[in-house]
């Protein structure tokens, strides 16, 4: 059947944009495109077999989630490994998870609670075998249940925008805590969820992420003097 | 170039100069921004990914209508973030920060139009900035900067009046809790800033302006309307 060409073209273009985004995203996460690698339009157009426009669009979206950087000297590169950015993403994820749990736990359905149990027992298994990437995924699935239960799309989107930082550099994670200890806290959280005690769940989540915050404060946060001098520069700019 | 075009379009959309639903024609924007096609398209796509414009089939683009539900969910996400930020940052606040918060509280007390004051504060990013800046978590800075334009646009377009007493009380609680190092008190008060002040503003940004904001009782609205009028200064001017 001949399709009306006029209206089909833009749809194709939109799909193409998403396909290009997905491929670049995967390539960065799995390391095909290495941290710090310069991304040349020509190389990418011939690699993906598409024109410059969908590639530029995809790169822009990737820069919004911190996977790609545009430098002022006009080159584009895969964002290098940035331990501070990873720690910040973990810390920030913790704040959002805590809120989502506090808000949603009281009204969770039995189904949601049993899914949480499933994810937590997966986490325990992965923790025992020191499978950090697997554990990171299980943790993501576990906490996403709370975000989904708030029915707040912006909250879900925010969490998903932080996740690539968490997944991509899983090997670079400087875990101040053993995987099995993390898994044990997740199990404890799942038990508290079963009693639908939102406050207790939120407190446990806060405790789980406390090491990320402590690491941020001791290693990455700048001095007050540096923060203030940057603020003054911004004001005068 | 893309950044320049992006910023100019962003400002025009947030301020309402380009109205919600308004059609954007590439050629006109190129002329208006003095830029060529590629940077204009890139800027529009960037705006589309933050939900401020809609790129429709056949190269049509329009300023996205204000989606109140969507902005409300953004406000709740920011609320979640700031509850945590404030809880963690109170022990880190410097005397200068507390001074800045106090100055904000004082300026509000002097403001003739409380609604206009808060609107301006949101547009210029006063008040909440103090907390994110001191915490120095750039990921949080980026997350809140990215979503600020949508929230600002809705609040700018809002016709909601505001109860001076509520704002006075909330600001006072925030400032005093920060000054005394009461982190959980400050975090609760910031929660009220989002729920009792910003949320009603966004609810009042419904494009249908005949509908008054639903959550306001008539008595409150009258009171607020009275407060919004700069009656005193006008009378003084006449004498």
CA distance B66 to B150: 8
> How close, in Å, is residue A117 to chain B by CA atoms?
25
Report the chain A residue with the minimal C-alpha distance to residue B136. Answer: A221
**Cβ-contact A120, A189 below 8 angstroms:** yes
Using CB atoms, which residue from A85, A153, A227 is nearest to B133? A227
- Please determine, for residue A12, whether its predicted confidence score (pLDDT) is greater than 80: no
Chain A residues in contact with B79 by the CB 8 A cut-off are: 99
| Residues in chain B, total | 239
CA-to-CA dists, residue B221 to B139, B147, B166, B167, B209, angstroms: 39, 29, 13, 15, 15
ipTM tops the 0.85 cut = no
Q: Which of A92, A148, A208, A229 to mutate to test the interface with B (most CBs of B within 10 A)?
A: A92
Two tokens, residue B234: 């006008």
Report pLDDT for B231: 41
Chain B residues in contact with A95 by the CB 8 A cut-off are: 80-81, 83-85, 140
CA distance B122 to B116: 10
Q: Mind listing the pLDDT tens digit for each residue in A132-181? A: 888 888 999 999 999 999 999 999 999 999 988 888 766 666 666 788 89
CA distance B83 to B174: 12
> How close, in Å, is residue B127 to chain A by CA atoms?
14
CA distance A219 to A231: 21
Q: Mind listing the pLDDT tens digit for each residue in B7-44? A: 999 999 999 999 999 999 888 888 888 888 888 888 88
Two tokens, residue B129: 């900035």
pTM: 0.84
Say yes or no for a CB contact (<8 Å) between B57 and A11. yes
Using CB atoms, which residue from B76, B83, B140 is nearest to A155? B76
Q: Mind listing the pLDDT tens digit for each residue in A194-232? A: 999 999 999 999 999 999 999 999 999 999 999 999 988
CA distance A170 to A159: 16
**Which residue carries 């208006």 as its tokens?**
B32
Q: Mind listing the pLDDT tens digit for each residue in B178-225? A: 999 999 999 999 999 999 999 999 998 875 444 444 443 444 434 444
Report pLDDT for B212: 42
Count Cβ atoms within 10 A of the Cβ of residue A38 and give its class: 0-12 exposed, 13-18 middle, 19 or more buried.
exposed
């Amino acid at each position: 059947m001949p399709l009306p060409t006029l209206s089909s073209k833009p749809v194709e273009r939109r799909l193409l944009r998403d396909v290009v985004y997905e491929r670049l995203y995967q390539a960065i996460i799995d390391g095909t495109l290495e941290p710090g690698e310069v991304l040349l339009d020509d190389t990418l157009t011939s690699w993906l077999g598409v024109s410059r426009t969908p590639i530029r669009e995809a790169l822009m979206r990737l820069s919004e989630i911190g996977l790609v950087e545009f430098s002022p000297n006009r080159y584009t590169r895969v964002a290098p490994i940035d331990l501070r950015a990873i720690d910040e993403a973990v810390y920030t994820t913790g704040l959002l998870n805590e809120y989502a749990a506090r808000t949603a736990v009281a009204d969770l359905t039995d189904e949601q609670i049993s899914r949480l149990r499933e994810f937590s027992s997966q986490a325990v298994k992965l923790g025992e075998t020191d499978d950090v990437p697997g554990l990171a995924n299980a943790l993501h699935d576990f906490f996403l249940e709370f975000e989904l239960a708030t029915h707040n799309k912006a909250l879900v989107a925010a969490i998903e925008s932080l996740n690539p930082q968490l997944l991509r550099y899983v090997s670079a994670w400087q875990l101040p805590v053993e995987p099995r200890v993390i898994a044990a806290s997740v199990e404890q959280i799942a038990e508290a969820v079963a009693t639908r005690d939102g406050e207790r769940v939120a407190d446990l989540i806060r405790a789980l992420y406390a090491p990320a915050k402590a690491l941020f404060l001791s290693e990455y946060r700048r001095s007050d003097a540096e923060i203030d001098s940057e603020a003054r520069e911004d004001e005068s700019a | 170039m893309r950044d320049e075009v992006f910023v100019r379009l962003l400002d025009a959309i947030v301020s309402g100069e380009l109205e919600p639903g308004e059609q954007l024609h590439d050629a006109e924007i190129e002329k208006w921004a003095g830029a060529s096609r590629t940077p204009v398209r890139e800027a529009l796509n960037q705006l589309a990914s933050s939900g401020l414009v809609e790129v429709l089939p056949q190269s049509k683009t329009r300023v996205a209508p204000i989606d109140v539900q969507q902005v409300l969910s953004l406000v709740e996400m920011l609320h979640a973030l700031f509850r945590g930020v404030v809880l963690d940052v109170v022990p880190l606040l410097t005397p200068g920060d507390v001074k800045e918060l106090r100055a904000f509280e004082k300026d509000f007390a002097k403001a003739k139009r409380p609604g206009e004051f808060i609107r301006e504060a949101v547009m210029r990013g006063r008040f909440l900035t103090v907390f994110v800046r001191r915490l120095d978590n750039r990921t949080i800075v980026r997350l809140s900067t990215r979503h600020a334009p949508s929230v600002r646009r809705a609040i700018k377009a809002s016709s909601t009046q505001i109860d001076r007493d509520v704002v006075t009380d909330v600001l006072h609680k925030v400032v005093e809790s920060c000054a005394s190092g009461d982190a959980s008190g400050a975090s609760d008060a910031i929660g009220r800033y989002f729920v009792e002040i910003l949320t009603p503003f966004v609810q009042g940004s419904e494009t249908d302006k005949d509908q008054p904001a639903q959550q306001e009782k008539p008595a409150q609205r009258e009171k607020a309307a009275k407060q919004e009028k700069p009656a005193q200064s006008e009378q003084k001017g006449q004498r």
